Amino acid sequence: MAADSVLAGTLNPAIGNLTELRVLSLVNNLMYGEIPRSVGKLQSLEVLELQGNNFSGEIPKQIRSLRSLRLLNLSDNSFSGSIPSKLIGSTKLEAIDLSYNQLSGSIQVVGNRCGVLNHLRLSHNFLTDNIPAEIGQCRKLRTLLLDGNILEGQIPAEIGQISELRILDISRNSLTDSIPKELGNCRKLSQIVLTNLNAINSDYDSLSGEFNAFNGGIPSELLLLPSLQVFWAPRGNFNGKLPNNWSSSCSLRVLNLGQNYITGTIPESIGNCANLTYLDLSSNKLQGNLPVRLRVSCMAYFNVSQNKISGVLPRFEKDSFCMNMIPHEPASRFLDDEDNWNSYINSPVWDFPRLNDNLIIAHDFSWNRFSGSLTSFKVGEVLLANGHKFSYKLLLNSNQFNGSLPIDLVSNCNDMTSVSVNLSSNLVSGEISDAFFLHCRQMIEFEAASNELDNSIGPGIGDLQRLVHLNLRENRLSGVLPDQLGNLQSLKWMLLGGNNLSGEIPSRLGRSTSLVSLDLSRNEFTGVIPESLSYASRLEILLLDHNWLSGEIPASFSALSHLTKLDVSFNNLSGHIPHLQHMIDCIYFDGNKFLHPCPESYSDSPAGLPVPLNVEKWKRQRKFMSMVIAVAASSTLICLLLMIAVIIIVKKRLDRQNRLKKRQVVTFSDAPSDLNYDNVVRATENFSLRYLIGTGGFGSTYKAELPSGFLVAVKRLSIGRFQGGIQQFDAEIRTLGRIRHKNLVTLLGYYVGEAEMFLVYNYLSGGNLETFIHEKSCKHVKHSVIHKIALDIARALAYLHYSCDPRIVHRDIKPSNILLDEDHNTFISDFGLARLLEVSETHATTDVAGTFGYVAPEYATTCRVSDKADVYSFGVVLLELLSGKRSLDRSFSDFGNGFNIVTWAKMLIKEGRSSELFTPELWEMGPEEHLLGMLTLASNCTVEILALRPSMKQVVETLKQL
């Protein structure tokens, strides 16, 4: 039967009558239903290919009796149940692909009959238990793909007996323990995937679906395999050092060990790997110098960020010898054509990042201790010579580079599609010459904030017609701004705050109609605010504070519909404050003595009209001051007492300042540079209620804006709950500080003092899920948004349960602890705090830390900590999302005490009234089958029997299927 024909319907049981049939291929059709058992009669069948259909049910056991069958491909269907016993290892089967189904149970291998099996792919199912040791008896196996299951335990050392093995992928499981050095006996291994985060392909979607957490280091026998081309193991919990004896026979082309705990130096011998085009060693504990022989200019992706590497950068030599830089799939991923297997292996686990189908070459040296002068970077000459287009990203920020800015920093810049450069937080000095801009007209991003650049910005910057992001904050730039800045029609972010710029603000800046953020704060600008800035209709942030501007705020600013922050404080402005479409805090108008008072509400005051002063209050204040002056003048004794009082106050303030100097906020790698105790206290006005944004069982949370404009959330912990010692608290919180996941709020730093403790997180502007749930009916939220939120929460919890060491049970999952951004990306907060505030406890049984209505029954009655308690709480939150009701909604009061959203949902399901659970708008928009699928999942998560609840990893996979 012909492959790739467009067929629909079920497979007729009469197929069993075709006893002479040798090939049955129905690939990528619309077939559905179960495979008839009569297929077992096809004793002449050699090839059975049914991938890419909608077949369901269990795989017929009769297939294993097909004595002539050599190739079985049932991938990308909806088969469920277990893999038929004795199927893997059947006499003549050479290739088995059961990937992308819903198979469960364990993997069973008939070891003594596994001699001819060449390819085994069981990826992306729900397979559990250990990888069977019997797999080692499949001596001719060349491809072993077990990724995307729920396999546990250790990688069996018996795999080292498979001498023909080329490809091994065991990523996205729940494997633990150490990597057996016996894998080094597989001398033909070409590609090894131990963990897979898809950090590049998914825009740093760095923790999606990966739960392997190994112990110890990576055996050098494995990394030094002569045929090894791809080794992919980001965030695998590995430690130890890199081997120092790579030889010229090294075949490595891709090495990803990012986000681990690798120590020591990068060995010089890695320079022998001449084919290396992808190297990620970021977020480890590496130190020492970068090897001189490492051919960075030959690499399309190079990342050593967030380490402690020091010394000067090796010069980027001419890369005419970089013959392997042209990107292509790893040869190891596709086997020889004669194997007829390449159609079953879809795509590599790795690839180079791309933008609009153009390759992006990225070299990231950021967040290290590099020093010395910057030199010229020359990359991609071979690519350009062969007609390949590419963009280039060069990240040098947060190091100790000094000297001047080279004119030819990226020497062949104008030959590239686009160039992005980040030099922020270094010691680079001197001027930015026009020649620098002329030499790199393809620049789209240039960041050099927090350096020592001086002199003026020349008119040549107007030639950067593609520039989108310009950040020169916190330097020593002086002089006037050139009018040519108005020529930059693509510019969205112009950040020049914290310099010594002077003169008038160019009126031509209003021509930059793409501007979203303009920061000219903390300079020496004079004159009036140009009326023309209102032409930049997309402006969201305009910072003009701490200058010498005069005149009135242009009334035309009231037309800026996107403007959410206008800071003109501490100037010499006068006149009325215009009516703005978005509420803006009155502190942004302080320090202008001739400016009319700030209206209490822009929406309540007519445009351009000031609010009158409280005359009576002013008179009382004046009378009081007169009395004070009269009393002070009447008695020398009182003056003396006042002087003594002043001295005491000054002394106390000095003592307080000395104490504050000793107060240090411990920060983590991605924290803003101005995060410190003084700035936090100042930004919250000593934790004023004015900045309070939430309270909970662990403490109160405040919003704070740092001097750089970076927004953070500060959680001030309730000391009364803390029972452990300071050192133990410090150790616990440092563990939390290493946790990074795209759906967890980021812990930026913390402070531990005798009187108080607080944590600092990234600030999220979308509010919490509790507010969202009770407002969503007005917004007609679609199923896709609900599904995205649920999947984000599930991924974060699965990561806490499976990938953290030690693993974390949240214990207080509820809508108020789940935050959103403006795009409905979802983040869990307060993770680890239940453990953090009970570090003195030594048993798994502790006091209940959750919230009534979300606590699992067994947790509430026994106080026993379990990850299944989080599963229950997730189910409650999912029911709230679907129904718009609270867990203890008032509408349940008619049913009596103890009735909650879980019992309500069970009642509706039992009575066949499931549709009544959903908000009417959500049910009307549908699709019904997806909504009912999510309701079934929520019901499964909230069953009382612990063993029947799914794990959070199973929840993630179920949501993906939906």
Which residue in 522, 530, 302 sits closest to 396, CA to CA?
302
Which helix (DSSP H) or strand (DSSP E) does residue 784 occupy?
helix 783-802
> 313 near 372, Cβ under 8 Å?
yes
Cβ burial 884-903 (10 Å sphere, 16+ → b, else e)? bbbbebeebeeeeeebbbbe
Cα–Cα distance measured from residue 118 to residue 622, given in angstroms and rounded to the nearest whole number: 94
Tell me, what amino acid is at 926? Answer: G
The residue behind tokens 């002068």 is 373
Spatial CB neighbours of 202, under 8 Å, sequence gap ≥ 6? 208
First-to-last CA distance in the chain?
A: 32
Which residue in 453, 404, 459 sits closest to 437, CA to CA?
459
Q: What share of the chain is helix, strand, coil (3-state, %, to 5)?
A: 30, 20, 50
Which residue in 239, 297, 354 sits closest to 279, CA to CA?
297
Catalytic residue among 364, 545, 812, 830: 812
The residue behind tokens 């107007």 is 462
Adjacency order of strands within the sheet including 8-10: 8-10, 30-33, 54-58, 78-80
> 820 near 827, Cβ under 8 Å?
yes
Which helix (DSSP H) or strand (DSSP E) does residue 775 occupy?
helix 769-779
Cα–Cα distance measured from residue 357 to residue 377, given in angstroms and rounded to the nearest whole number: 24
Known catalytic membership, residue 463: no
User: At CB < 8 A and 24+ separation, what contacts does 339-348 make?
Assistant: 339/95, 339/118, 339/119, 339/142, 340/71, 340/95, 341/95, 341/118, 341/119, 341/143, 344/51, 344/73, 344/75, 344/95, 344/97, 344/119, 344/121, 345/121, 345/143, 345/145, 348/230
Q: CA–CA distance from 109 to each of 70, 133, 366, 887 (Å)? A: 17, 9, 48, 47
Look at the alpha carbons of 309, 312, 315, 316 in this order and tell me if their dihedral is positive or negative.
Answer: positive
- In order, the DSSP letters of 47-71 are EEE--SSEEEEEPPGGGGG-TT--E
Angle at 851 between CA 849 and CA 853, to 5 degrees: 140
Alpha helices in 594-746 (DSSP H): 615-634, 636-662, 677-683, 726-737
Q: How many angstroms separate the most distant Cα atoms in the chain?
A: 122
> 230 near 332, Cβ under 8 Å?
yes
Cα–Cα distance measured from residue 535 to residue 554, given in angstroms and rounded to the nearest whole number: 12
Which residue in 216, 140, 138 sits closest to 177, CA to CA?
216
Q: CA–CA distance from 737 to each of 141, 712, 893 (Å)? A: 42, 15, 43
CB atoms within 10 A of CB 802: 23
Per-residue tokens: 733: 């919180």
The residue behind tokens 């001197």 is 430
Per-residue tokens: 434: 């026009």
The one-character DSSP state at 528 is B
CB atoms within 10 A of CB 6: 7
Which helix (DSSP H) or strand (DSSP E) does residue 226 occupy?
none
> 744 near 861, Cβ under 8 Å?
no
Region class of 462: left (phi > 0), else alpha (psi between -120 and 50), else beta: alpha
Per-residue tokens: 961: 């299927």
- In order, the DSSP letters of 107-124 are --B-GGG-SS--EEE--S
Per-residue tokens: 125: 């199912």
Could you list the active site residues?
A: 812
